Amino acid sequence: MSQTSLQDPITRNKTRMVQSFDIDDLKLYERFSKLFIQKHRLGDGGDGIVHAYEHKSSKVLVAVKTPLPSTSSSAMSKAIKRLEVEIENLSILQQHEHIVGMLAFSYIPVVPAIFLPLCELGDLNNYVSIWKHKQGKQGKVIKHTSEVAIWKFLHDMALALDYLHNKCGNYGYTHNDIKPDNILVDLPNGWKKEDGVPDEPVFRLTDFARMTRNHPTESAQPTRFCGTPEYAPPFSEQGTLRPSGDIWALGSTLQTLALGIYPIQSHEAFVADRRREGKAAPILVDRGAWKRSYWRHLIPTTFRPLSATKEELMKDFDVQDSIVIEEFYPNRPWEHKPYSKQLDEC
């Protein structure tokens, strides 16, 4: 058996890339610009924008993350700084099957760029959308994501967080921004696109711009939660970063994957609570207001059992139209089929 076949998938992917081109082809802008061509935009967020680039001769794809462009010099400076922090954080991480590790970094030509393996199925939201689309084309009635996929997701993320929290360097680290956008999905080893969308893909944690040491030195300032509010721990737990915050965010992400909703109090319930307290709240139909950071940070995240029926979730667990992810249910109402009770105990 060859050495390559003994390696884990992420190492095999990196080995295949290195065999297709030299890592210096990424690090040196002059070589990169000649050997690679930009194909398409993969996504963007608060820390940067990601494009797919193709190696011209081998057709191997890599993901390239650069700062979000801005006409404001101050905003651009902050974006560059955030990417430099992520480069520093990624340099701490070793290659792991369920973490998207850095292939290389460079300045192309004046801003930092991070080169990463490209995951074929996109992020978690994209995976759910294409899985449901595929099932629909086959004439199947889709009421929830496959439970097999749910268990595989938990398995892979448990391994990723065990490494990050307990086995990374001398300290262990907290990710601090786990959410569907920051979990990428790849095809299993040996799987071909013509085989369809797998129920058991490979899930990988990405975006380490907010990674923080678990046990900072006495001189280090304590760090508050600074991730995405819809996946934040309870308000009382946001003052200090702990690995448990990542576990809460993982559970919240599981709710999105399984139920197709944001894991927060519904807008309807939030408005009712604010009115009872004599406080202001956005109008329900004002979508722009609900996207503002101020309101997003005031809405609490909420636990919901995955084994509950659709009727129970709507009646007893505050599932309303305002928190349903429309992309998962295009042009049709929210549906749900209960999962096994074992998932509630995770």
- How many whole angstroms separate alpha carbon 233 and alpha carbon 231? 7
End residue of a domain, out of 69, 102, 117: 117
In sequence order, the 6+-apart residues with CB closer than 8 A to the CB of 175 are 161, 164, 182, 205, 208, 210, 211, 246, 249
Residues 108, 187, single domain; the answer is no
Residues 340, 253, single domain; the answer is yes
Residue 167 lies in a domain: yes
Residues 15, 111, single domain; the answer is yes
Residues 245, 336, single domain; the answer is yes
End residue of a domain, out of 100, 117, 134: 117
Residues 232, 333, single domain; the answer is yes
Residue 272 lies in a domain: no
- How many whole angstroms separate alpha carbon 77 and alpha carbon 85? 12
Residues 7, 61, single domain; the answer is yes
Residues 111, 166, single domain; the answer is no
pTM, entire model: 0.89
Other CB atoms within a 10 A radius of the CB of residue 179 amount to 24
Three-class SS of residue 109? coil
Q: Where residue 182 sits, what CATH number does that domain have?
A: 1.10.510
pLDDT in tens, the chain (346 residues): 333 333 344 444 554 555 578 888 999 999 999 999 999 999 887 779 999 999 999 999 999 999 988 878 888 899 999 999 999 999 999 889 999 999 999 987 778 999 999 999 999 999 999 988 877 776 666 678 999 999 999 999 999 999 999 998 778 899 999 999 999 999 999 898 788 899 999 999 999 999 998 876 655 555 678 899 999 999 888 888 889 999 999 999 999 999 999 999 999 999 999 999 999 999 999 999 999 999 999 999 999 999 999 999 999 999 999 999 988 887 778 889 999 999 988 7
Residues 260, 320, single domain; the answer is yes
User: DSSP code of 335?
Assistant: -
Range of the domain at 11: 3-117
